Amino acid sequence: MAIDDASHRIIADLLASRTGQQLTESRRWRVSTALSGLFREIGIENVDQLACMLERPGEYRLATRVVEALLNNETYFFRDHVYFNTLASTVLPELAKKRASTRRLTIWSAGCSTGQEALSLAMIFAEQSGRWQDWTIEIVGTDISGKAIEQAQSGVYSQFEIQRGISVAQMLNFFAEAQGGWKVSEKIKAMTRFERQNILDFPPSPGKFDLVLCRNVLLYFAPETRRTAFDKLASGLASDGLLMLGAGETVVGQTDRFEPSGLGSALYCPAIGKAAAPRKSIENILRPAAATG
C-alpha cells in the first residue's frame, strides 16, 4: 500500500472509531479540502504529515480537531421544503390527534448539525400558534460535533446562513440582529435544546419521542453500524411515534425495527412486535478502526 493510501486509511479509521461514519472512496476527495484550514494552522502541507502526527502518543486533541473538520455539517433552514410541508400539513396534525389528552409533543432532531432543522420545526409551531395553544412542545437536537452544537446553543447565524431557506418575514419575525449575525428569538429558542451526543449512543430520552428526524445521517454508515443506529432510533421513539429519514435513505433491507407508516415515502413507524435483535456493541463493531486511530 502506498504511503498516501496508508495515510488516508489512518484518517478514515480515526473518523470511524470516533463517529461510526465511513470515509469511503467516493468521499476521499474531500479530505484534503476539509483539512486545509487545519494544515495551515499547524504548519503542515498534506495528509501524510498529518497521519505521522496522529500516530504519535498523546495527540487526542489533534485527533478531535481532525474529526470535527471531516464531519459534514451542511444544513440550512427548511432544508428540502417538501418534507417540512409534509410535517406541517400531515405529520403534526396526526400527532396532535394522538396526543390530544396530554397536549404535549416531544421531537428529536438526530444529527442536527448547527440547529437549523430543529429551529425550522419550532417556527412551524409558532406559525400555527392557534392550533398549538396551551401545548408543551419540546424539540431536542443532538449532534456528535461539539462545534456545531455550540453554535446551535448560541442561536446566532450569519447573514448567509439566515438567508438560506427562510423568507424575509420569517427572518424578521423569529430573529433579531446581533453581534456576529442574527440571533433566534426567545419564543423559538424556548422550544428547543441542544446536546452533544453520538447517534450510536443511548437516545437522550428513551421511549419518549413522538417524532424523530434523522435525515441525511445514515448515508455515511456501514450496514452493520446503520442497523445499530436504527436500533437506537427505535429505542428513543414512542410505540406509536414516527421516524422521518432523508430522501436517499430507507429502512427497507436495512432494519426490521421500522416499517412504512403510510404517511409518506420518508416516514416510518415502529414495526409491531419487533424487538431489537442481539447485536455486537458499537465498541466491537468499530474495534479494528479504534486500534488504528
- For the chain, how long is the longest CA-to-CA vector? 64
- pLDDT of res. 274: 59
Which value, to the nearest 10 degrees, does the dihedral of the CA atoms of residues 125, 130, 134, 138 take? Answer: 0
Please give the chain's pLDDT, 293 residues, in tens: 344 788 888 999 999 999 999 887 777 777 888 999 999 999 998 899 999 999 888 889 999 999 999 998 889 999 999 999 999 999 999 999 999 999 999 999 999 999 999 999 999 999 999 999 999 999 999 999 999 999 999 999 999 999 999 999 999 999 999 988 999 999 999 999 999 999 999 888 888 999 999 999 998 899 999 999 999 999 999 999 999 999 889 999 999 999 999 988 899 999 986 554 444 433 333 333 333 22
Q: Cα 28 vs. chain centroid, distance in angstroms?
A: 21
The burial class, CB within 10 Å (0-12 / 13-18 / 19+), for 67 is: buried
What the block records as the C-alpha cell of 85 is: 410541508
Q: Using DSSP, state whether 47 is helix, strand or coil.
A: helix
d(C-alpha 159, C-alpha 94), whole Å: 35
Record the cell numbers describing residue 225, joined without a space: 453500524
pLDDT for 286 equals: 35
Instruction: Tell me what pLDDT residue 15 has.
Output: 92
The β-bridge relationship of strands 209-214 and 237-245 is parallel
pLDDT the model gives residue 273: 67
CA torsion through residues 166, 170, 176, 177, sign = positive
**CA–CA distances in Å: residue 67 to residues 34, 61, 83, 201, 284:** 10, 10, 29, 17, 20
Are residues 32 and 69 in contact, defined by beta-carbon separation less than 8 angstroms?
no
Please give the sequence-ordered ranges of beta strands (E in DSSP) within the chain, or none if there are none. Answer: 104-110, 136-143, 156-157, 175-178, 181-184, 192-196, 209-214, 237-245, 258-260, 267-270
Q: In this predicted structure, what is the pLDDT of residue 5?
A: 82
| CA dihedral over 84, 86, 91, 94, signed as positive or negative | positive
The C-alpha cell 450569519 sits at 158
Strand order in the sheet with 192-196: 192-196, 136-143, 104-110, 209-214, 237-245, 267-270, 258-260
Task: Determine the pLDDT at residue 289.
Answer: 33
- Cα dihedral 23, 25, 30, 31 sign: positive
pTM: 0.85
What pLDDT does 226 receive?
A: 95
- Count CB neighbours of 99 within 10 A: 17
